[in-house]
């Protein structure tokens, strides 16, 4: 990825120019945690609300367990709570971001210092009815292979909902990874919403996968 400016917000633009190294990403978000909500609100960040509503369209809250993978300061958890979800856990690479998420009161449990690509070391296979990861599959953060990691955390017939910023989708092999999961029978694609609102820097695609019941 080049040095072209992506966002008018200095912090968001810097985040989108990270190199994906977990230690550098963790350090960046440790510094950003206290002002993250202000910066993203100024960017008209609608991803969490859209994702929560999309999950609600395909899964009633009921007594379901949800994992917010890469929960940041808890914006997704807050939106899920508004829609009636109660058993929500979260994790984030940055301990300070996870602390902010825990302080919202939206989560049952929040873990910090968890690398998404190694989340299986903390969360057992098939542990959740739904897993969401919003704002994580974005430039400079998590590789497309993270999709496979998260799918393993979903119970058979459960849902995996992720967002991909359009730039990320166009510049990575996300489509190939998704196609492989579908071709191998590991998941089905329930819904794909392309070029939907995300923030004022650009749009995102929202993907809803169902883990195969086998």
pLDDT digits (tens, 9 = 90+) for 85-126: 999 999 999 999 999 999 999 999 999 999 999 999 999 999
Give me the number of domains the chain comprises: 1
HSE (side-chain half, CA atoms, 13 Å) at 42: 11
At residue 1, does pLDDT exceed 60? no
Residue 3: inside a domain, yes or no? no
Q: Rounded mean pLDDT of 135-163?
A: 97
Spatial separation of the C-alpha atoms in residues 154 and 194, rounded to whole Å? 23
Percent residues over pLDDT 90 in the chain: 92
The whole model's pTM is what?
A: 0.95
Q: Is 52 exposed, middle or buried (0-12, 13-18, 19+ CB in 10 A)?
A: buried
- 1 domain-assigned: no
Report yes or no on 5 lying in a domain.
Answer: no
Residue 31: Cβ-neighbour burial (10 angstroms; 0-12, 13-18, 19+): middle
Q: What is the CATH number of the domain that holds 107?
A: 3.40.50.150
In this prediction, residue 8 carries a pLDDT of: 80
In a domain, 2, yes or no: no
Residues of the domain holding 54: 10-211
pLDDT of residue 7: 83
- 34: tokens are 């206290």
- The band of 9, judged by pLDDT with boundaries at 50, 70 and 90, is confident
């Amino acid at each position: 990825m080049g040095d072209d400016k992506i966002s008018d917000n200095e912090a968001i633009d810097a985040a989108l120019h990270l190199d994906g190294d977990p230690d550098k990403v963790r350090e960046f978000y440790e510094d950003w945690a206290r002002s993250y909500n202000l910066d993203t609100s100024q960017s008209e960040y609608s991803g969490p609300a859209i994702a929560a509503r999309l999950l609600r369209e395909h899964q009633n809250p009921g007594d379901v367990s949800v994992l917010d993978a890469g929960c940041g300061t808890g914006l997704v958890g807050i939106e899920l709570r508004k829609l009636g979800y109660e058993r929500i856990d979260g994790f984030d690479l940055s301990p300070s971001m996870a602390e902010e998420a825990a302080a919202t009161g939206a989560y049952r449990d929040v873990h910090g210092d968890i690398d998404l690509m190694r989340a299986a070391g903390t969360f057992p296979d098939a542990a959740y009815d739904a897993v969401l990861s919003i704002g994580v599959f974005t430039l400079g953060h998590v590789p497309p292979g993270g999709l496979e990691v998260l799918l393993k955390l979903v119970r058979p017939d459960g849902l995996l909902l992720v967002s991909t910023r359009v730039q990320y989708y166009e510049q990575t092999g996300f489509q190939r990874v998704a196609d492989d999961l579908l071709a191998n029978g590991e998941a089905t694609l329930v819904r794909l919403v392309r070029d939907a609102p995300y923030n004022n820097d650009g749009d995102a695609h929202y993907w809803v996968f169902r883990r195969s019941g086998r």
